[in-house]
A and B are shown apart, each in its own frame.
Chain A
Amino acid sequence: MSFEPKIVAFLCNWCSYAGADLAGVSRTKCSPNVMSIRLMCSGGLEPAFVLKAFKEGADGVLVCGCNLGDCHYIDGNYKTLMRMTLLKKLVKQLGIEDERVRLQWVCASCAEDFVQAVNTITNDVKALGPYRQTKINAEAEASRI
């Protein structure tokens, strides 16, 4: 059987989650490998959530927020942008290929963007193969996650 990756998506409540809902309402098909978790704002994403997902066996993580300038909390997604830049460096140091972590802006009417992000990360992670836990286990043992 072919490798079916497990991918966790963190969606902000206002734009991305609504965009993902719209993909459903318009019956656009996408790969079933991505499980969404709703946050109020992408800026509320604790970096630990991403590491936790890898620790629990995820093969990839997708983070979605409102388009820059459209954040319902004024500028929360700018904080996401900065944190994701750092986080990508961090996961690399932990031995996780940084292609496994993606940031995509999805507006409330951008179902296509969401579907495309889901399909792209699924295909890319399939190509990368399963994530094999390396350093993160040791790191995780020592920390609260």
Chain B
Amino acid sequence: MDDNIKIGVYVCHCGHNIASTVDVEEVAQQARMLGNVGVSRDYVYMCSSKGQNLIKQDIMQLGINRVVVAACSPRLYEQTFQNVLRESGLNPYLLQIANVREQCAWVHEPGLQATEKANRLVHGAIRRVSHHSPVEEQSVPVFPATLIIGGGIAGIQAALEIANSQHVVYLVEREPSIGGHMAQFDKTFPTLDCSACILTPKMNEVSRNPYIRLMTYSEVVDVSGYVGNFAVKVKRKARYIDEDKCVGCGICQEKCPWSTASEFDAGLGLRKAVYTPFPQAIPNIPVIDRERCVYFLKGKCRACEKVCEAQAVNFEQEDMYIDLHVGSIIVATGYDVFDPTPIVQYGYGRLPNVFTSLEFERLCSPSGPTGGQLKLVSGRTPASVAIIHCVGSRDQNYNAYCSRVCCMHSLKYSHLFKEKTGGEVYQLYIDMRCAGKAYEEFYERVQGEHVHFIRGKLASIAASVTDAEEDNLILTCEDTLLGNMINISVDMVVLCVALEPRHDAEQLSHILRLGRSHDGFFLERHPKLDPVATMSEGIFVVGCCQGPKDIPDTVAQASAASARALAMISKGKMEMGAITASVDEGVCSGCKVCNALCPYGAIFFDETSHVSRVNQVLCKGCNVCGAACPSGAISTRNFSAIQILAEIEGVLA
């Protein structure tokens, strides 16, 4: 072993936390006898400033050049001790932590065995640190433009935050208009302000802001590059309407003879083949739906072209691909609603007057298919409604998670139904979850409106056979508070369906190299301490694509993500993780095994020198490549094979 290596070992008592289980003096004593150990001490709190100073003094006065701290988990104080080394003029990576608290003292009974294990862990750290070498941290410049994928409330909020600080934003939305799900809602809980009234001013702001480049009817198809310098390819689907010429008069929509179900009205209303999803659409420029337009299907019609005074209709338009250069990406792709058809006993799609929550929103909305009048399929005003919670949520058969917004919007529905019809409202809930500012108060308010709250899960819905004209539905459910089965007869049923990940979330996760959690939502970097960033540096997730949440939480997260993007822009550069892989080009045989394995596409093959190389900015240091390299040519800094093998020797010595 290299004689110039002089290791300092510092065993922490952590008050009584470690010392009551492990004989810390014995551990320090044992370490002292090992090769290359210059000094070994124990101290009551190593993380205190006194403890830190002990290390600093030894580095300065005794020439200690490697440090082992036997204390709590490296996940807690590794950075603190790295700073101690940095401040003492040592490279921070010449440190190794032996975790003798969480993974020793706290999980074992006091005694010899715990002390022996601590000895082994410290011995492993000592052997390992002898093979540590300085690692340099790197930084990359950040291009001051941001891409936002998705133009719902999350994307709109993030775009405005960034654009208002005078930085360029590309807002890409796949539908013909921005607005997302929020534009479909009637009222918002708990304040009952009209959704369109608070959203449309923001949508207008987006269209007016000179720093926002709005691309609707467009999709991100490819992303390459890395934090600070992403190259993005956006597909602008052909609108068949010239955006520069169209004045948004709407005459084409009026004259188009072909109709189809409106996606915006959740399939309850009709739209034309040339359409804007809703009257307040931004941009107010229609698209021609290739799948529905009879000219595209049969080669005849072109009615819209004839009536367009601005001569904006152009059937020759083709999809365009646009390349963008951005420094960071905010993903705000939102959610899909659960399709309750598979729950056959609820009769959705089979029984008339069983609606999903989104359909009910459209029925309540003044811009909806019924002009805001609550009507049954027969045209009669319903005298009663049952609102079913947790359809597809909190259900092991579909989604185990809670969709978070349904309790609150079902309370809103109760209120709206009472307001519009004065009829009876039954709420079938499992638990009422009304956590949020003024949410519980809203619950109390609705309770005061003579709504029947029944705690129980709906078993089935059947059409009434006795009175066919009265389009009644018979609900069978368990009332768990009374402890018996009950039947309820109602005119209308609203299924509060789950919020699910977008059906194509997996595809986007591949394009952006994002992780996804169990439930399919995009995975944040840390569930509590970093719920905005992702493991892909420079890519942030906001709104329901990260998990179900309501509008206030979505807006807060969107603002947080834009603050992070702006922080990167204002700093102008980005520090990268120092733990990355590198290829020993003298050893690499050029077999390319590692190329395909890298989850981040960070390894490329240099055709001229016939070796693989690692892009240091893209690499995250997982060592998947290193473990696979048949020549042992790849090693990951601070987690190299030599270091791990030494640690194995140490813990087993």
Expressed in whole angstroms, the minimum distance between the Cβ of A111 and any Cβ of chain B is: 9
Whether B652 and A24, one on each chain, are in contact in the complex, defined by CB atoms closer than 8 angstroms, is: no
Interface stretch (choices B293-301, B312-320, B511-519)? B511-519
Using a Cβ–Cβ cut-off of 8 Å, how many residues does chain A contribute to the interface with B? 51
* A18 within 8 A of partner (CB): yes
* B75 within 8 A of partner (CB): yes
* A52 within 8 A of partner (CB): yes
Contact partner of A145 (CB less than 8 A), chosen from B73, B116, B636, B645, is B645
A46–B628 alpha-carbon span in the complex (Å): 7
Q: Closest 3 interchain pairs by CB?
A: A44-B623, A24-B102, A24-B106
Excluding A43-B624, A70-B515, 19 further A-B contacts by CB distance (< 8 Å) are: A8-B651, A21-B103, A23-B102, A23-B103, A30-B108, A32-B113, A37-B648, A38-B99, A41-B622, A43-B627, A44-B639, A46-B626, A46-B644, A49-B644, A49-B645, A52-B645, A72-B622, A74-B514, A74-B599
Whether B102 and A72, one on each chain, are in contact in the complex, defined by CB atoms closer than 8 angstroms, is: no
Whether A73 and B599, one on each chain, are in contact in the complex, defined by CB atoms closer than 8 angstroms, is: yes
* A138 within 8 A of partner (CB): no
* A125 within 8 A of partner (CB): no
Whether A17 contacts B75 in the complex (CB less than 8 A), given A24-B103, A32-B108, A41-B624, comes out as: yes
A75–B116 alpha-carbon span in the complex (Å): 36
Expressed in whole angstroms, the minimum distance between the Cβ of A66 and any Cβ of chain B is: 9
Q: Mark B507-536, 1 if CB is under 8 A from A, else 0.
A: 001000111111000010000000000010
Expressed in whole angstroms, the minimum distance between the Cβ of A33 and any Cβ of chain B is: 8
A-B residue pairs in contact (CB < 8 Å), sample of 14: A21-B102, A23-B107, A24-B102, A39-B623, A43-B622, A43-B627, A44-B622, A46-B626, A56-B648, A56-B653, A73-B600, A74-B514, A74-B515, A83-B627
A70–B105 alpha-carbon span in the complex (Å): 29
A79–B597 alpha-carbon span in the complex (Å): 9
Q: How large is the interface on B (under 10, 10 to 19, 20 to 34, 35 or more residues)?
A: 35 or more
Whether A75 contacts B626 in the complex (CB less than 8 A), given A4-B113, A37-B648, A67-B518, comes out as: no
Whether A29 and B109, one on each chain, are in contact in the complex, defined by CB atoms closer than 8 angstroms, is: yes
Expressed in whole angstroms, the minimum distance between the Cβ of B27 and any Cβ of chain A is: 14
The residues of A that contact B74 with a CB separation of less than 8 Å are 38
**Most chain A beta-carbon neighbours within 10 Å: one of B75, B509, B620, B622:** B622
Interface stretch (choices B117-125, B203-211, B256-264, B269-277)? B117-125
Expressed in whole angstroms, the minimum distance between the Cβ of B219 and any Cβ of chain A is: 22
* B641 within 8 A of partner (CB): yes
A45–B623 alpha-carbon span in the complex (Å): 8
Chain A residue nearest to B121 in the complex (CB): A35
Cβ < 8 Å to A, chain B residues 42-73: 73
Whether B639 and A36, one on each chain, are in contact in the complex, defined by CB atoms closer than 8 angstroms, is: no
The residues of A that contact B645 with a CB separation of less than 8 Å are 48-49, 52, 145
Contact partner of A69 (CB less than 8 A), chosen from B73, B75, B116, B518, is B518
Contact partner of A28 (CB less than 8 A), chosen from B107, B515, B653, is B107
* B621 within 8 A of partner (CB): yes
Whether A29 and B632, one on each chain, are in contact in the complex, defined by CB atoms closer than 8 angstroms, is: no
A35–B644 alpha-carbon span in the complex (Å): 13
* A96 within 8 A of partner (CB): no
A22–B121 alpha-carbon span in the complex (Å): 18
Chain B residue nearest to A53 in the complex (CB): B648
Whether A8 and B652, one on each chain, are in contact in the complex, defined by CB atoms closer than 8 angstroms, is: yes
* B114 within 8 A of partner (CB): yes
The residues of B that contact A58 with a CB separation of less than 8 Å are 648, 652
The residues of B that contact A74 with a CB separation of less than 8 Å are 509, 513-515, 535, 599-600
**Most chain A beta-carbon neighbours within 10 Å: one of B102, B124, B627:** B627
* B389 within 8 A of partner (CB): no
The residues of B that contact A75 with a CB separation of less than 8 Å are 599
Chain A residue nearest to B515 in the complex (CB): A74
Cβ < 8 Å to B, chain A residues 62-81: 67, 69-76, 79
Whether A69 contacts B621 in the complex (CB less than 8 A), given A18-B75, A24-B103, comes out as: no
The residues of A that contact B107 with a CB separation of less than 8 Å are 23-24, 27-30, 32, 115
* A129 within 8 A of partner (CB): no
Chain B residue nearest to A48 in the complex (CB): B641
* A20 within 8 A of partner (CB): yes
Whether B622 and A37, one on each chain, are in contact in the complex, defined by CB atoms closer than 8 angstroms, is: no
A36–B621 alpha-carbon span in the complex (Å): 20
Whether A52 and B648, one on each chain, are in contact in the complex, defined by CB atoms closer than 8 angstroms, is: yes
The residues of A that contact B75 with a CB separation of less than 8 Å are 13, 17-18, 21
Expressed in whole angstroms, the minimum distance between the Cβ of B636 and any Cβ of chain A is: 7
The residues of A that contact B101 with a CB separation of less than 8 Å are 24
